[in-house]
Chain A
Amino acid sequence: MDLTSKYLGMTLKNPLIVSASPISKEIDNIRKAEDAGAAAIVLYSLFEEQLILEQKEIFYHTTQHNEITPEASSFFPEPSEFKLGPEEYLEHIAKAKSAVTIPVIASLNGKTEGGWTDYAKKMQDAGADAIELNIYNIPTDTMLSSEAIENRYLNILKAVKNAISIPVALKLSPFFTNMASMAKRFDETGADALVLFNRFYQPDVNLNDLEVVPNVDLSTSADIKLPLRWIAILKDRVKADLAATSGVHTGEDAIKYLMVGANAVMMCSSLLKNGIYHLKTVLDQIQSWLEAKEYESVAQMQGSMSQSKIGNPESFERAQYMRAINNYKFGY
């Protein structure tokens, strides 16, 4: 069975990729992922803002209480060097590259324009096979127009594309007014792939101490629906590759994504829940299904159920709720 798939100009041995997550913080896990059959790995994100905050934090703590009493001119010894830039991440790329043979994709969340391009260049130099741009922040400024936000995305993409030569994927949120239009504009700006969609930590309220607390919900198979729709819609509308992320727990989940047009399918929650070797289970399930259904290759089914290749393309555009009820068979 030919499981290969094209993504970001690379031929992956199969479509399964480990998505950006804490899994990739340990080189050992990256090795396990390869061993389990992953075709590529996206490293955890480098957050420029975090680097800046850490610099400020270290600066504060190594200076704040100096010279306050005659007995103590400082409270910490001063290391000769700090690793407060992207060095640790860059070293990690290099280590990952030397540990595995599968492609290693770096993930970047910048803050400043200079940061996006500088870090992207450094990631390229460190050996990353591609870069996934993880652009998102919660716009709370009531004066900030949608257009400005959209342009910011485009400008970042453009700057990074100009700065580096390796492929660039863009991991998107679903919260654009017109996703199709945005996808097209990203496509035109040179995105080599779009990754649909980013999952975000959503805050929760703790009723005991009336605090807002960060909340991490692992995905379930039910979460494939939104990316599924948009991959189907975008499949033949953009040149960029499409990668699916969210909700892949079974071979069937992955197959559905591939059917609607995904070049690659990314996994995280199910691996966190079931262990890295669950990826092999999913891969085996894909292979079995393909064999049972007598497909020749992944490529054969890829996009076979995209919007443009189904009998009723409007089914991906429905104002679902009303039609769904209309379609429901009354059982009594």
Chain B
Amino acid sequence: MQEKVFTTIDGNEAAAYVAYRVNEVCAIYPITPSSNMGEWADEWAAKGIKNIWGIVPTVCEMQSEGGAAGAVHGSLQAGALTTTFTASQGLLLKIPNMFKIAGELTPTVFNITARALATHALSIFGDHSDVMSARSTGFAFLASASVQEVMDFVLIAQASTLHSRVPFLHFFDGFRTSHEVSKIELISEDVMHKMIPDELVHQHRLRSLSPDRPVIRGTAQNPDVFFQNRETNNKFYKTCPDIVQQQMDKFAELTGRQYKIFQYEGGENAEHIIVIMASASETVQETCKYLNSKEGQKTGVIKVRLYRPFDIKRFMEAIPSTCKTISVMDRTKEPGAIGDPLYLDVITALHEGLAQGYGSIKSMPKVLAGRYGLSSKEFTPAMVKAIFENAQSENPKNHFTVGIKDDVTFTSLEYDENFNIEPDNVFRGLFYGLGSDGTVGANKNSIKIIGDETDFYAQGYFVYDSKKAGTMTVSHLRFGPEPIRAPYLVSHANFVACHQTVFLEKTDFISKLVPGGVFLINTPFPIDQVWNTIPCSQQKMIIDKKIKVYAIDAQKVAENSGMGRRINTVMQVCFFAISGVLPKEQAIEAIKKSIIKTYGKKGDEVVAMNLRAVDNTLENLFEVPIPNEVTADWDIAAPVPDTAPKFVKEVLGEIIAGRGDNLPVSVFPVDGTYPTGTTQYEKRNIALQIPVWDEKTCIQCGKCAIVCPHATIRIKVYDPSYLENAPETFKFVDAKDKEFEGLKYTIQVAPEDCTGCGVCVEACPAKNKSNTSLKALNMAPQLPLRKQEAINWDFFLSIPDIDRSKIKVTQIRQQQIMRPLFEFSGACAGCGETPYVKLMSQLFGDRAIVANATGCSSIYGGNLPTTPWCYDHNGRGPAWSNSLFEDNAEFGFGFRLAIDKQNEVAQMLLKKLSSQIGETLVDELLNADQSTEDGINKQRERVQALKEKLNLMGKNDDVNNLLVVADYLVKKSVWIIGGDGWAYDIGYGGLDHVLASDRNINVLVLDTEVYSNTGGQTSKATPLSAVAKFSFGGKPTGKKDLGLMAMSYGTVYVASVALGAKDDHTLKAFLEAEAYNGPSIIIAYSHCIAHGINMEKPLEHQKAAVDSGQWLLYRYNPERTRLGQNPLILDSRSPKMPVEEYMNMENRFKILLKSKPEAAKLFYKMAQENVENRFKFYQYLADRKFDGVS
């Protein structure tokens, strides 16, 4: 056995580490939480790292998981060792190919981060519903329970698949294992070689398709022989478990780590056992150990490693002869089934196993089914204890749940939250940071330091909230002398750090600390004032639990060291200085060494400023004296205001407060339907600075409002009489537009909802005449303004919106007065997508129905707790739904079909009831001109009149039916919204199909030119030369011209817009697209954090994109052909800025210039040529004499 080599990595990297080395081709597609595996593989390939046979594997990103599966299938058939990585819906898309791959007995290993499937809601988090949906494919299923097992099982699976020819699905828990950082033993390439002899690879190659030994595979078969053919592979499945166990045994010889396909852990005389898979089995194992040793219980666990093919004999042999009860725990839900899959398998296995006389038990034990852990719901020792207690109770619950409170069907088990099995020699720390302050990165680094520098084992797990701006991250760290088997969150911490002062207002930290624990705060307050900044309930606990409190002004130290707002290094030093996990000097030296290693390649200055931060920290860290009594007269704020509706207060508010785990089943809707308009109650107060309006300088152009990503800067025009009770500081001026003569004008900021991005200030064209550093909007610290402006905001909301018919919708200065029906989303500060979404909501929101592809827009638009989509004073607003990633165009198209059909039904009934309703009204209803908002409003009035008449008429089926569908006589605006990953890649087939139809749908493509939501992976919208995930060396090919492809139909309205470059052009395009009675598509340039730009000045990037010709502005309106005009209008002028200049403004391009300058320069030249050629081509199309053929 070789010397042990340890490393500190997460589950995804562990899987990729081996999978990359024992394969030749990886076909991939990003999906959370598996994306990192593909990213690692891509990065290693780009860096030339070789597999165990000395060749660099080919890593290829496909257009979808379905595409990746197809490529895997093809690559396998042609003889390469091939793998893929995926999760959730991605696995579902691979299933058709999985049946083929298994049916053809083709060795491969699919590595899956098991994740929930979207049902009533999407969830990115872990459970087994995806893998369980693939269990009939014929793949073998191997489950890993820890990061170590992930690394080991990829290799065991690869060896087993090559031996058995049965393809393998190797899975581990999404996030809990895929994202847990852990110190593990590395497998050497020598061991990999020994596990995979070349002979096996040769056999795989010789089975492949080759014209040199031609065969055909994939025939079509008829009833006469298909069935028999299907039975030919039985023997392979029968021998598969033996092969896996042999490989596990061989692996044990090589590494010392012995696994069993059903591994029993627990007392020899255990009476009560749990059967369970993946990470939770670790929790059960540790809890059994505790219960057996501390409480004298007789418990045990069967860890199911090889779930398919299910080896009944080995399963029976794993059960101790003393077993009385078996609780089978499934991490999935199959509504309507007798039980969930593992339970059903266990029942059958016991039945057949007893009949066969396998194992040592002689009679059927009591078998109970339990469900746990859906969507990464915590599974703790306390729950394990409850499962055992249930099993031993007189009337145990069967088909129970654990981890939730089911007060509807009463399935859930009660458990004691305070039950804790963690030994004292394990350090447990919690670190609360802001996404952008580097807390998580610093903690990962600390784990690495402790893992590398000491004999301690280390574990880190990271929890993020669902917003993209102002996100709170919580790092859960454990260090201890033994391997850490605790795949659940830290609840009894020795050390808690609050890295952002603002969290003190809303977070309970101290209840997580054990008595005598340490609390570290980053605070700008001097030592004598720190105590008074802590809420009273926290003060009380600090005193009662004798907590030691330390404080540092990390912001100041970071700034003085040249680190700006990045406090990570400072807080990391504080942690090591006071936690005592390592001797201080040793820790500081290790941090410094790590800084040089981590940042060395990023330049001397970067290293120097980090080192300065280390040196400056210790002298600024101090212990806070704790008085004997509570002095604060305030406490942690309520999550939502008292004025919020009941559901918001009792349900959404609890989720906001971080107490969602405590909510019982009964409070939730049964079908995933939630109210809109709820972000308004979630006062996040994340802005450090907010814009302040200078009404005297303002020219009332509306540009600030149109670019505001969060709809927090609003305009109203109103009668002066409404000012009667205006707060003292409420600002207003005379409205400048002549149409608004005599009215007042106010721009008001929502101070507690603003993210402080500053884009409004960038957009503001009005400068102070005496001091040009000031504009009509200027950023100022939020805290001193918060209270006053919150009052002003409430007053502002109380002023009624102006009659929309009085607004000139074609002029931004007036159009922006329209109320946004999309507000305060969870998007990034400065987001480039949301202004388009908001614009749509302003213009058409009261009649819009939105189909939203999965991605950033579905997360900031629909992730609980709150919803930015809202409604107007009439209660009308966008209805929104997210189906999937790949099907959004079809989903929205379905909306249109349903709306048109119900309109058709209404028209039919109108005609049928015409004589009773009155022919004039019916005629008007049927022939209404609804091309304008005024026309739509008139139709609404007619529908109201119709309903009144219908209500007076005698009830019959026709009347009742018409009442239900009458609203469909009013025009509905169907919007299909998604990002470029959807439109250009995974959803393109569907998008193309619906664009080819004659239906009135509007497609909005929020084109960030990468998969933004999953971390900036390349899409076909990614421009030439941009560095993105899967385009490590810069994208070698150009951006797909989606607009041109859509134009080729001649019947699609197509616009390419960039709000930051030409806002009135964007507005025009939205109005034309919606007015066009047919399919429309707007491709909207959306700057993004994935571009590597200053998000406070994103508009200049949009301008540069357009000025350089990198992004064209145009509109293609088929309506113009009717007038004999060329449908294409090129709204861009000739490029006036070199593309290189634009590209050098953005890190996505510049990163290549600074890593591979020669390649970058070549790309820049190609990009310039492309831009010039494309402009000429469009100019030709737009200028050509239109002869009536589009």
Q: Does A56 contact B (CB under 8 A)?
A: yes
> Which of B32, B435, B765 is close to A67, meaning CB atoms less than 8 Å apart?
B435
Within the assembled complex, what's the spacing in Å between the Cα atoms of A68 and B469?
Answer: 8
- Going nearest first, the 9 A-B pairs with the smallest beta carbon separation are A68-B435, A55-B603, A72-B1015, A67-B440, A79-B1155, A61-B1147, A61-B1092, A75-B1016, A71-B32
Contact with A along B452-493 (1 / 0, CB 8 A): 000000000011100010010100000000000000000000
Nearest-neighbour CB distance to chain A for B78, whole angstroms, equals 28
Question: Among the listed stretches B40-48, B209-217, B411-419, B918-926, which one makes contact with chain A, having 4 or more residues with CB under 8 Å of it?
Answer: B40-48
Question: Which of A59, A65, A84, A209 is in CB contact (< 8 Å) with B1089?
Answer: A65
26 pairs from A and B in contact (CB 8 Å cutoff)? A51-B603, A56-B605, A58-B603, A59-B599, A60-B564, A61-B1151, A62-B1092, A63-B438, A63-B441, A63-B566, A68-B435, A70-B32, A71-B1015, A72-B1013, A72-B1016, A73-B36, A75-B1016, A75-B1090, A76-B1092, A76-B1147, A77-B1027, A77-B1032, A79-B1155, A80-B601, A83-B1157, A88-B1157
Contacts of A51 in B (CB 8 A): 603, 605
Interface string of A90-133 (1 = CB under 8 A from B): 00000000000000000000000000000000000000000000
Question: Is B1027 a contact of A76 with CB atoms below 8 Å?
Answer: yes
Q: Which residue of A lies closest to B443 (CB)?
A: A67
**Given A59-B603, A77-B1027, residue A69 in contact with residue B464 (CB < 8 A):** yes
Chain B residues with CB under 8 A of A72: 1012-1016
Query: Complex Cα distance A54/B1145, Å?
Result: 12
Cβ–Cβ < 8 Å partners of B439 in chain A: 67
Other CB < 8 Å A-B pairs besides A59-B603, A79-B1151, 17 of them?
Answer: A56-B606, A58-B1147, A58-B1151, A59-B599, A63-B438, A64-B1089, A67-B441, A70-B33, A70-B175, A70-B462, A71-B35, A71-B1015, A72-B1014, A76-B1092, A80-B47, A82-B601, A210-B767
- B1028 sits at the interface (CB 8 A): yes
Instruction: Tell me how far the C-beta of B827 lies from the nearest C-beta in chain A, rounded to whole angstroms.
Output: 11
Chain B residues positioned under 8 Å from A55 (CB to CB): 602-606
A210 to B764, CA, bound (A): 13
For B1027, the chain A residues whose CB sits under 8 A away are 76-77, 79
- Tell me how far the C-beta of A134 lies from the nearest C-beta in chain B, rounded to whole angstroms: 20
Name the A residues within 8 Å of B35 (CB-CB). 71
Q: Are the C-beta atoms of B471 and A69 separated by less than 8 Å?
A: yes
B-contacting residues, A24-66, CB 8 Å: 51-52, 54-66
Which residues of chain B in 1006-1058 are interfacial with respect to chain A, using CB atoms and an 8 Å cutoff? 1012-1016, 1027-1029, 1032
Which residues 287-332 in B have Cβ within 8 Å of A in the complex?
A: none
Q: Is the interface of A mostly helix, strand, loop or mixed?
A: loop
**A83-B1155 contact in complex given A69-B468, A70-B33, A77-B42, C-beta closer than 8 Å:** yes
**Would you call A64 and B436 a contact (CB within 8 A)?**
yes
Cα–Cα distance between A71 and B30 once the two chains are bound (Å)? 10
Determine if B1154 is an interface residue (Cβ-Cβ < 8 Å).
Answer: yes
Shortest distance from the beta carbon of A121 to any chain B beta carbon, whole Å = 15
Report if A141 contacts B (CB, 8 A): no
A14 to chain B minimum Cβ distance, whole angstroms, is 32
Complex CA distance for A55 and B606, rounded to whole angstroms: 7
Q: With A63-B438, A71-B32, A71-B1013 as given contacts, are A209 and B599 in contact (CB-CB < 8 Å)?
A: no
Number of interface residues of A (CB under 8 A): 37
State the A residues within 8 Å of B (CB). 51-52, 54-85, 88, 209-210
Residue pair A75, B605 in contact (C-beta under 8 Å) = no
| A135 to B1013 Cα, complex, angstroms | 47
Indicate the size class of the contact surface on chain B.
35 or more
A75 and B1155 within 8 A (CB): no
**Which residues of chain A come closer than 8 Å to B1147, judged between CB atoms?**
57-58, 61-62, 76
Q: How far is the CB of B591 from chain A (nearest CB, A)?
A: 16
Chain B residues 1134-1181 with CB under 8 Å of chain A are: 1147-1148, 1150-1151, 1154-1157
Chain B proximity of A177: nearest CB distance (Å): 32
Given contacts A55-B606, A67-B435, contact A76 B1151 (CB under 8 A): yes
Separation of A174 and B32 alpha carbons in the complex (Å): 61
Partner of A78, one of B43, B605, B1015, B1154: B43
Whether B606 and A59, one on each chain, are in contact in the complex, defined by CB atoms closer than 8 angstroms, is yes
- Bound state CA distance, A266 and B772, in angstroms? 40
Give every chain B residue within 8 A of A79 (Cβ-Cβ). Answer: 1027, 1032, 1151, 1155-1156
Least CB distance from A50 to B in Å reads: 12
The chain B residue with its CB closest to the CB of A54 is B1154
Contact check, A68 vs B436: say whether CB atoms are below 8 A apart: yes
For the complex, is B150 an interface residue (Cβ under 8 Å from A)?
A: no
Q: Are B462 and A67 in contact (CB under 8 A)?
A: yes
The smallest C-beta distance from B580 to any residue of chain A, in angstroms, reads 26
Min CB gap B446→A, angstroms: 14
Q: How far is the CA of A312 from the CA of B828 in the complex (A)?
A: 72
**Closest A residue, CB atoms, query B766:** A210
Q: How far is the CB of B61 from chain A (nearest CB, A)?
A: 12
Give the contacting residue for B765; candidates A81, A88, A209; CB below 8 A: A209
**Complex alpha-carbon distance, A80 and B601, angstroms:** 8
Determine if B603 and A84 form an interchain contact, defined as CB atoms under 8 angstroms apart: yes
In the complex with contacts A72-B1014, A76-B1016, A66-B602 CB distance below 8 A: no
Q: Which residues of B contact A54 (CB under 8 A)?
A: 603, 1154
Verify A71–B124 contact, CB threshold 8 A.
Answer: yes
The CA of A3 and the CA of B332, in the complex, are separated in Å by 89
Contact of A59 with B1090 in the complex, beta carbons under 8 Å: no
Q: When chains A and B are docked, how far (Å) is the Cα of A72 from the Cα of B566?
A: 19
Q: How far is the CA of A63 from the CA of B445 in the complex (A)?
A: 13
CB closest residue in chain B, given A208 = B765
- Give chain B residues whose Cβ lies under 8 Å from the Cβ of A70: 32-33, 124-125, 175, 179, 462-464
